[in-house]
A and B are shown apart, each in its own frame.
Chain A
Amino acid sequence: MIYPLQVVFILVSAVTLGAALMVVTTRNMVRAALWLVLALFGVAILFVLLEAGFFAVAQVIIYIGAIAILMIFAVMLTRRIAQDPGPQLNSTWPIAAVIALLVFGLIVFLVQVWDRAASLPPPLPQGFAPLQELGVALVSADRYLIPFEIASVLLLAALIGAIVVAWERK
């Protein structure tokens, strides 16, 4: 029995993984950034399948609207490299490929031997609204207020740090 959702999952994950492969192999850096956008969009669709609509939307806003655009800007500001005809992979790339495959094999092995890997999603409890729960959890002092605040401070520090580092002194 094939469910429509399974078809969607297989299509989306295939496109996402293909796009991710293009990200790490394309020579043209702007194109690599555009492939990255496609891969990130695919992940956003998987978030929808996981019933985490907020994260799908946040993924598009943060990753595509901010991070990918920043990357494209950075590639264009370092323009000479975008036209660099030389190989874009360093000389040790076969070792890198072996390591990546090993990591993949290891994780797949772990998933295979784990007894809960085949579990299906439990139905959400009646009247359970994940979005409201998340909002309350993020600002409750006895739950995740401090990690959340630390993440905000990290963002602020990164903001100031980025400005200081990229500042052009004259």
Chain B
Amino acid sequence: MIPLSWYLIFAAALFSIGLFGVLSRKNAVAILMGVELMLNAVNVNLLAFWRYLAPENMAGQVFAVIVFAVAASEVAVGLALVISVYRRRQSVQADEINLLKY
């Protein structure tokens, strides 16, 4: 059988890869992809804890459902922002969108 730690380490690796993507990518859409990977890692953890530690308690699954909803809304708003910015600035590079700095 698969011990719980395998899932936790897998989720940690996925989360770190997503974090790297968020911190290092220039393209705003790619940053959103990194966020999706991180949210997925969280979901793996939630469901693993549900299955291994408290299968009678549905809290883990309920939170996974809520993470799905949050991920969907985050992508919808994020991509709308990206497209809106692209229309005005002709660019989706995160480091070129720096008007608020000044």
Q: Specify whether A and B are partners.
A: yes
B6 cross-chain contacts in A, Cβ below 8 A: 9, 13
Q: A97 vs B34: C-alpha distance in the bound complex, in angstroms?
A: 13
B76 touching A117, Cβ below 8 Å? no
Residue pairs across A and B with CB atoms within 8 Å: the count is 262
A111 touching B5, Cβ below 8 Å? yes
Count residues of B near A (Cβ-Cβ below 8 Å).
74
In A91-144, which residues have CB < 8 Å from any B CB? 92-93, 95-97, 99-101, 103-104, 107-108, 111-112, 116-122, 124-125, 128, 130, 133-134, 137-138, 143-144
A88 touching B30, Cβ below 8 Å? yes
Given A47-B47, A55-B64, residue A20 in contact with residue B14 (CB < 8 A): yes
A81 touching B27, Cβ below 8 Å? yes
For A73, give the chain B residue with the smallest CB separation: B79
B12 touching A77, Cβ below 8 Å? no
B73 cross-chain contacts in A, Cβ below 8 A: 154-155, 157-159
Q: In whole Å, how far is A84's beta carbon from the nearest beta carbon of chain B?
A: 8
B24 cross-chain contacts in A, Cβ below 8 A: 24, 89-90, 92-93, 96-97
A17, A116, A168: the one within 8 Å of B14 (CB): A17
B2, B5, B29, B56: the one within 8 Å of A49 (CB): B2
A118 touching B25, Cβ below 8 Å? no
Q: A78 vs B32: C-alpha distance in the bound complex, in angstroms?
A: 14
A103 cross-chain contacts in B, Cβ below 8 A: 12, 15-16, 19
B68 touching A78, Cβ below 8 Å? no
Q: A26 vs B8: C-alpha distance in the bound complex, in angstroms?
A: 26
Given A77-B83, A138-B62, A168-B87, residue A40 in contact with residue B36 (CB < 8 A): yes
26 A/B residue pairs, CB under 8 Å, sorted by A: A5-B1, A16-B14, A20-B37, A24-B17, A24-B24, A29-B30, A39-B37, A59-B43, A59-B68, A67-B36, A74-B79, A77-B83, A78-B29, A78-B82, A88-B25, A89-B25, A95-B23, A96-B19, A107-B9, A108-B12, A120-B2, A130-B58, A138-B62, A144-B62, A155-B69, A165-B80
- Please list the residues of chain A having a beta carbon within 8 angstroms of any beta carbon in chain B: 3, 5-6, 9, 13, 16-17, 20-21, 23-24, 29, 32-33, 36, 39-40, 43, 46-47, 49-52, 55, 58-59, 62-63, 66-67, 70-71, 73-75, 77-78, 80-81, 87-90, 92-93, 95-97, 99-101, 103-104, 107-108, 111-112, 116-122, 124-125, 128, 130, 133-134, 137-138, 143-144, 147-148, 151-152, 154-155, 157-159, 161-163, 165-166, 168
